[in-house]
Structure 1
Amino acid sequence: MKLHRNLVFAVIDALNLIFNEKEYADKVVQKVLKFDKRWGARDRGFIAETTYEMVRYKRLYEEIAEVKAPFSRPDLFRMWAVWAVLKGIQIPDWKQIEPTPERRIKGRFDELSKIRKYREAIPDWIDELGVKALGEKLWEAEMAKLNEPAEVILRTNTLKTTKEQLRKALLDEGIVTDPIKGYPVALRLPERANVFVTECFKKGLFEVQDASSQLVAEMLQIEPGQRVVDTCAGAGGKSLHIAALMENKGQLIAMDIYESKLKELKRRARRNGAHNIETREIESTKVFKKLYGSADRVLIDAPCTGLGVLRRNPDSKWKMQPEFLEKITKTQHEIIRSYSKIVRPGGKMVYATCSILPQENNDQVTSFLASEEGKDFTLVQEKKIYASKSGFDGFYMALLDKKAQ
């Protein structure tokens, strides 16, 4: 493999922004890929994949390179040299790279690979938390799987097409996809491709959405013509799925505390041809209190640690602090008690997170059902999805029925 200096330098620039400036990896990669318009698909792939892999295994590489944050530029080059040696790539003779002791690097790697927190590159506190929550065996399997790059999964937009029609249309554009058993509208890409430049995407025939995430809206048991409220809609991945299940009939209210995310949702809804979505920014409690007792279906896709989606956001394990778990579980506790009041008698609610920790998942549901606010609800079904078992993102979802009066 021939290394090009400008591509390696782009990786170093990206790592500096992620590790030292605390910027989000996905935003940094988007930014860095715009540095040079002449870069082709292979060049861009090298930058993105190398950056993500080095973020994923930061702890292992910094330990072998014997460097500590904040990282100087020579430190980042040393970490990159470790990555290159372990990949079997010949180190170029550039002045930025010191003489690299390949044998020592391989020896240290063999040594550290026996210790999970280095092998899977996780902070001590997350490792301890995971073992306590899931047990040694499941946690170990989960961390190994969550360090693998995520596959590209598409969700067919059934407002505009069918899964088979989408497969054919994508194939006409040179993109091969496979259906996934048990996921009604999902397609998997056996080989990565930039699907966002396709005509199919521009026409709103699909969204990129992990297979586990696609199960959330399905669990709501939506019927066209209902009133549905997505309480933590964000940029609307699940709202758009709900709109498709509603066949554009009825009312879908998508709420969030961030106006910028709702603007993005509106833009995506236009491309998707989803006409029954009404966005509402939560500026005060009045916004959701007006809806109490009025919705047939309510989705609470609660903010969480995101430990189930580390494949997509590997930098989050380095940004997260132990106190965040305490803060987020308190927020979840409040959200489920407030937003559950939106469900009408005889209606249904789904509580979901992209976490694998019981504290954020079934513990929250159990606590809610034992509370005054939860006394009219019954747990009908719950799914605990682990990446090591499903091959897709880690998720939790619970369906609750509200007693008819």
Structure 2
Amino acid sequence: MANKINLRELVLNILLEIDKEGQYSHLVLRNTLEKYQYLEKKERAFITRICEGTLEYRIRLDYILDQFSTVPADKMKPVIRELLRSSVYQLLYMDHVPDSAVCNEAVKLARKRGFYNLTGFVNGVLRRIVREYGSIHFPEKNSPVEYLSVIYSMPVWLVERFLKEYDFATTEKMLESFLETQPATIRIREYQTEEEAVLESLKEEKVTVEKAPYVDRAYYVKNYDYLPALTAFRRGSIQVQDVSSMLAGEIAGVKEGDYVIDLCAAPGGKALYLADKLHGTGRVDARDLSQTKTDLIRDNALRQNFLNVVVTEKDATQLDRESLEKADIVLADVPCSGLGVMGKKKDIKYKLNPGKIRDLVGLQRKILEQASTYVKPGGTLIYSTCTIGKEENLENIQWFTEHYPYELESLDPYLCEELRGETTARGYLQLLPGIHKCDGFFMARLKRKNEWNS
């Protein structure tokens, strides 16, 4: 470990910033690692592991602390609470870290932060956990909500929400999957790119490559240091993208020469997937709300040398009259609660509440209203989210088809046999983490009728 930088203090600072400022954990972590970019790979991994693990297991860690502390976790001073959470995570989930080091460093940090009178408390709680961890009583399955909440560190209201829509076994599989480490998924570009040559390049750089399911040219990659430094990435031969996101592009059924509008395109994965399928023809109009987002799309398009992608800064909730009935395909991958990607975004579950989801449904419907006007008669509208609740998914589609001249169209011609089923024949697919081998994701294919009856 570095001599001048206390890695555990960096972890504490990151956790406090996330908790106090309400910032997204991946941004705070990334900014810290960039600031201390001279740290060794193993030191960066140490910081990342503790930060992500402490966030991921927060509810379970607090449950454990409450059994060994005279002060409930939610009543502790923020510094002490985050210090104890991160220390308990190390004790229970990082076997290679000595218990004595965890306890001693926590006491030193408490003293350094001015909590001299609480050093004994910190030391006592941690050493009791080391001695008596086997005596911890966890909830039983006969109390399903409490059991799932504590064991899988999920807020009670979300557990209750999932259990209303899915059975216990399905819910448990989803929650379990959120705590599992998932490999990165890449797509090898199709147009003017030799798949075998790219795979060989990755293997030469000691990257472990494994075929991903459901989609051609999709692969899991492991054992790399910095993915953007890989030759295949720098040459634009690969794009980081989950299989679920690729499927949303696949069901569009794009044909050479098509004009496509992607309304909420950042970071650009689906737009570039469709541009690739156009084989240098047609046009993809990739839009998003801010310059930060459009710059991200533009960077990815330039890296992959897609000349048929036009990037524009536009608000998807506002009508663009120049686009009326112009597009063969419109993709509305709308802002959502992100419940399907909680395994990758550790703090989503702590930032959401039912009111925010209701607000998102209103936003989603507003975007759908505008999207409906851009599709040519007979054209296609793709609606997608990275969430797993009916309110943002199926209920939105039911509302939309009742009010606008669109009808669901079968996904089966565009999907592998493994994914085909009753709902795909009707025009939509709900992917569930832990059940399917990808993120949680919803997608629907809607065909514009020839007449506007409303």
Give TM-score scaled by structure 1 length: 0.92
**AA of the residue aligned to 2:78:** S
Residues 1:148 and 1:71: Cα distance change in structure 2 (over 3 Å) = farther
1:41 maps to which residue? 41
**AA of the residue aligned to 2:98:** Q
Structure 2 unaligned regions, length at least 5: 67-72, 110-121, 142-146, 411-426
1:164 maps to which residue? 196
Q: State the alpha-carbon separation in 1 of the partners of residues 224 and 17 from structure 2.
A: 25
The answer to which of 379-388 and 320-329 deviates more is 379-388
1:220 maps to which residue? 252
- Would you say how many aligned residue pairs link Structure 1 and Structure 2? 401
- TM superposition shift of 1:230: 0.4
Greater RCO between the two (CA within 8 Å, min separation 6)? 1
Secondary structure at the residue paired with 1:111?
A: coil
Residues 1:77 and 1:121: Cα distance change in structure 2 (over 3 Å) = same
Structure 1 unaligned regions, length at least 5: none
The answer to which of 379-388 and 265-274 deviates more is 379-388
Aligned residues of 1:222 and 1:297 also touching (Cα < 8 A): yes
1:155-194 Cα offsets, whole Å, 9 max, x none, are 1122452332211111122212112243212111244642
RMSD value over aligned CA atoms? 2.2
1:110-129 Cα offsets, whole Å, 9 max, x none, are 52576211111111211111
- TM superposition shift of 1:216: 0.8
**AA of the residue aligned to 1:378:** L
Q: In structure 2, which of residues 441, 446, 449 is the aligned counterpart of residue 400 of structure 1? A: 446
2:92 maps to which residue? 86
Q: State the alpha-carbon separation in 1 of the partners of residues 32 and 18 from structure 2.
A: 11
Q: In structure 2, which of residues 128, 138, 143 is the aligned counterpart of residue 111 of structure 1? A: 138
2:429 maps to which residue? 383
| Identical counterparts, % of pairs | 24
Residues 1:304 and 1:256: Cα distance change in structure 2 (over 3 Å) = same
Aligned residues of 1:20 and 1:71 also touching (Cα < 8 A): no
1:12 maps to which residue? 12
- TM superposition shift of 1:105: 4.0
**AA of the residue aligned to 2:435:** K
Aligned residues of 2:263 and 2:316 also touching (Cα < 8 A): no
Aligned ranges 1:51-66 → 2 under 5 Å: 51-66=51-66
Q: In structure 2, which of residues 279, 296, 301 is the aligned counterpart of residue 247 of structure 1? A: 279
Aligned residues of 2:317 and 2:370 also touching (Cα < 8 A): no
Residues 1:162 and 1:389: Cα distance change in structure 2 (over 3 Å) = farther
Q: Which runs of 4+ in 1 moved over 6 A?
A: 2-5
Residues 1:288 and 1:69: Cα distance change in structure 2 (over 3 Å) = farther
Secondary structure at the residue paired with 1:177?
A: strand
**AA of the residue aligned to 1:392:** C
Residues 1:43 and 1:337: Cα distance change in structure 2 (over 3 Å) = same
1:34-58 Cα offsets, whole Å, 9 max, x none, are 3434422222122112211111111
Structure 1 position 206 matched with structure 2 position 258:
no
Residues 1:127 and 1:105: Cα distance change in structure 2 (over 3 Å) = same
Larger Rg: 2
**AA of the residue aligned to 1:107:** S
Q: State the alpha-carbon separation in 2 of the partners of residues 207 and 30 from structure 1.
A: 20
Give TM-score scaled by structure 2 length: 0.83
- TM superposition shift of 1:281: 2.1
Q: State the alpha-carbon separation in 1 of the partners of residues 306 and 377 from structure 2.
A: 27
Q: State the alpha-carbon separation in 2 of the partners of residues 177 and 51 from structure 1.
A: 27
**AA of the residue aligned to 2:434:** S
**AA of the residue aligned to 2:252:** L
